[in-house]
């Protein structure tokens, strides 16, 4: 028996595909014998073996069948002999062509709804029945589903009109108020990642305003991180060790990385990659936000929540932010020295600054926090799933799971995929949620109606295909973007919170320097970014996990690529995977792993070429050249430049602050991604962790 065809049919209705196979499809040769899941194609009764020199003892037929998993239909064709079925090639080509024509890719849009006429549940139930059913079981389900719908609509609007984004930043450089009496030094728009950065700047003595569209502290994400990365929060004096331990709700023993390999050849199957120090610390995200909010207010800062940003007017002396308080629908203004955009992927500022290249890729991510309901043998809460797939490409997406244990019986579960931004196919949160609630029992055995739903988790995690450190704008005069709005990290594993924390010291120190010397023009602020050359080259890795819109590729292709690379990491010492995933991979390690991957799977480069195309592949070569330049600069400067900079600071900074800022940014660029050994210890005390409850 030999497999001769494997296809993904991108619709959930397997019955319709089976009926089409059994009734409508005509092979053009052979006799069709219907089976429960398809049909067998046998030799015609009047066909003689001698006609094709086929032995009478050899059974020759094709078996065509379909099945469903991941809310998707798959088709395979097996031949029951070593010798080809007569006209086999023509039959398979006809089947492939006709099934593609009959069942092409569909990218449904959420319906346009009027919530003054009906509830969000009533509006979405016809298209997303399971999503509505399980959001109704959540404490604030109606509000959260409305929020998910709003976020998707905002994202779609930006993707549809990338070249003509909504203007929200207005510059009037000729206008200048003499000695303006400013309300604030810093005005932050966005209170999730924004409050972390804002609290540090407030503790440095700046007067800070934080504007948040949601009730402050409300989160649709949970945050996981590792102990060594939390160290920067202590280094900056934002929190004490005891305060930090108070927001840690779980520290698991090990994290697993495993991708489905049932349809991969044996050489492209890999063992589990164990990453015990990756995302192994679960934080109480809402408690963490409240703690940062307390720090901000204690340092004299203010928080305006349930307030939406409308526009920013900038001149040579100030920025004027116009906002609207949503409950009262009243507008008000605040003036400041600098506006900080921390609105993430929904940021209209990011779209305006970067136009059609605000984001090249995105991970539509959905999930939920479940507070019990799984049977005890299903999952041990001392372990996490960092990256896991249980099937092949599903309706043009390689779905990937994450699972992180939290406090008590809580499990935070995510489902996401890597996605190329396309106007016809922006990526849908609601479609993903319908997948999530349908296929969760396939991933981890459960009775969906017995699960205790605490809250949903969802969002768009962006990525930018960076070639060098300046090909994306993160600033304007008196305006700077941080976090996902800056989108300087490819969406591999860490984005959002993890990326911000790793770069927090860098961003706050550079911004403090710019503010002290009033270096608030575009050319100065645009140097304050979390760019890392070793991370910029990983966008080709994420590109290899995206199915281009409208294109079909072999269903097992992406799992084959993931198994190739993660299999290599599993064969390396633990610190190699830890450094790679935490953005600390150096030039020699990257090249060594790339060469090993090419030897293990020579087809890898061809596969990436097919997915990325020549334009992006040549663009990546620019990223690689820039990475090599940075590696050379780091090799020459890293041993002496930071020390030298410290020696000349007292003389250089007051005389030429612009040059000082530039050199300080260079110092961070060459030291931020330094690889670490797992033997390096953190001053965060492990024994202070809240005990794990089994």
pLDDT at 612: 83
Q: Which fold has domain 2-102?
A: TATA-Binding Protein (3.30.310)
Model pLDDT, residue 495: 55
Reading the block at residue 112, the tokens are 């346009």
What's the predicted TM-score (pTM) here?
A: 0.91
CA-to-CA distance for 230 and 246, rounded, in angstroms? Answer: 13
d(CA 96, CA 80): 20
Tell me which residue of 425, 546, 443 sits closest to 491, measured CA to CA: 546
**Phi/psi at 28 (5° precision):** 90, -10
Token pair belonging to 92: 């398979």
> What phi and psi, each to the nearest 5 degrees, are found at residue 39?
-160, 160
Residue given tokens 């349930």 in the structure block: 306
Check the CA dihedral 556-561-565-571 and report its sign. positive
Over the chain (694 residues), the average pLDDT of each successive run of 10 is 94 97 93 95 74 54 96 96 89 96 94 93 97 97 96 88 81 74 95 92 97 87 88 91 95 95 92 94 93 96 96 94 96 96 86 78 93 93 95 96 94 94 92 98 96 94 76 88 73 64 91 97 91 77 88 95 93 91 87 92 88 84 89 91 94 96 92 63 36 27
Q: 25: which residues sit within 8 A by CB, 6+ positions away?
A: 95, 98, 99
Q: Which of 361, 295, 352 is nearest to 536 (CA)?
A: 361
Task: Determine the Cα–Cα distance for residues 667 and 661; give it in Å rounded to an integer.
Answer: 10
């Amino acid at each position: 028996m030999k497999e001769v065809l494997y296809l993904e049919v991108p619709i959930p209705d397997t019955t319709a595909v089976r009926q089409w196979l059994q009734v409508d499809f005509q092979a053009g040769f052979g006799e069709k014998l219907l089976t429960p899941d398809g049909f067998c194609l046998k030799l015609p009764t009047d066909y003689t073996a001698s006609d094709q020199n086929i032995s009478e003892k050899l059974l020759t037929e094709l078996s065509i069948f379909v099945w469903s998993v991941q809310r998707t239909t798959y088709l395979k064709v097996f031949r029951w002999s070593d010798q080809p079925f007569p006209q086999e090639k023509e039959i398979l080509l006809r089947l492939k062509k006709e099934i593609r024509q009959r069942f092409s890719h569909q990218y449904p849009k959420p319906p346009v709804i009027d919530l003054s006429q009906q509830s969000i549940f009533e509006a979405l139930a016809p298209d997303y029945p399971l999503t509505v059913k399980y959001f109704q079981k959540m404490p604030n389900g109606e509000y959260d589903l409305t929020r998910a719908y709003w976020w998707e609509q905002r994202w779609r609007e930006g993707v549809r009109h990338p070249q003509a984004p909504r203007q929200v930043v207005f510059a009037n450089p000729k206008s200048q108020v003499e000695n303006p009496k400013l309300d604030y030094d810093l005005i932050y728009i966005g209170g999730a990642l924004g409050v972390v950065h804002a609290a540090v700047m407030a503790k440095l003595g700046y007067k800070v305003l934080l504007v948040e569209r949601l009730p402050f502290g409300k989160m649709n994400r949970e945050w996981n991180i590792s102990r060594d990365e939390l160290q920067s929060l202590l280094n900056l004096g934002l929190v004490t060790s005891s305060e930090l331990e108070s927001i840690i709700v779980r520290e698991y023993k090990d994290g697993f990385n495993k991708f489905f390999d049932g349809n991969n050849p044996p050489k492209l199957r890999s063992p589990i990659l164990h990453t015990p120090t990756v995302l192994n610390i679960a934080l109480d995200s809402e408690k963490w936000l409240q703690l940062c909010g307390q720090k901000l207010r204690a340092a004299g800062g203010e928080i305006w929540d349930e307030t939406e940003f409308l526009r920013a007017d900038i001149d040579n002396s100030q920025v004027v932010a116009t906002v609207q308080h949503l409950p009262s629908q009243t507008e008000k203004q605040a003036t400041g020295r600098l506006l900080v955009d921390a609105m993430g992927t929904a940021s209209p500022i990011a779209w305006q600054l970067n136009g059609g290249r605000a984001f090249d890729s995105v991970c539509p991510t959905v999930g939920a926090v479940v507070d019990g309901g799984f049977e005890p043998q299903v999952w041990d809460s001392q372990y996490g799933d960092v990256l896991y797939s249980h099937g092949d490409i599903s309706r043009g997406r390689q779905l990937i799971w994450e699972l992180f244990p939290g406090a008590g019986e809580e499990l935070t579960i995510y489902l996401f995929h890597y996605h190329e931004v396309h106007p016809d196919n922006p990526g849908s949160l609601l479609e993903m949620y319908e997948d999530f609630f349908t296929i969760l029992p396939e991933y981890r055995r459960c009775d969906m109606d017995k699960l205790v739903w605490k809250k949903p988790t969802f969002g768009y995690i962006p990525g930018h295909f960076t070639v060098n450190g300046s090909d994306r704008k993160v600033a304007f005069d008196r305006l700077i973007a941080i976090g996902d709005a800056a989108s300087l990290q490819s969406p591999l594993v860490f984005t959002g919170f993890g990326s911000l924390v790793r770069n927090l010291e860098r961003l706050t120190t550079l911004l403090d320097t710019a503010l002290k010397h009033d270096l608030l023009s575009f050319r100065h602020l645009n140097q304050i970014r979390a760019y890392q050359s070793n991370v910029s080259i990983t966008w080709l890795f994420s590109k290899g996990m995206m199915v281009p819109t409208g294109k079909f590729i072999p269903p097992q292709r992406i799992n084959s690529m993931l198994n190739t690379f993660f299999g290599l990491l599993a064969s390396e010492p633990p610190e190699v995977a830890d450094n790679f995933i935490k953005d600390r991979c150096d030039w020699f390690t990257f090249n060594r792993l790339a060469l090993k991957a090419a030897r293990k799977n020579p087809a890898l480069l061809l596969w990436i070429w097919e997915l990325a195309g020549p334009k992006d592949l040549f663009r990546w070569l620019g990223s690689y050249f820039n990475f090599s330049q940075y590696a050379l600069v780091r090799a020459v400067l890293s041993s002496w430049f930071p020390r030298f900079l410290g020696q000349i600071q007292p003389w250089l900074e007051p005389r030429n602050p612009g040059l000082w800022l530039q050199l300080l940014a260079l110092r961070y660029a060459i030291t931020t991604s330094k690889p670490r050994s797992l033997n390096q210890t953190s001053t965060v005390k492990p024994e202070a962790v809240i005990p794990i409850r089994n």
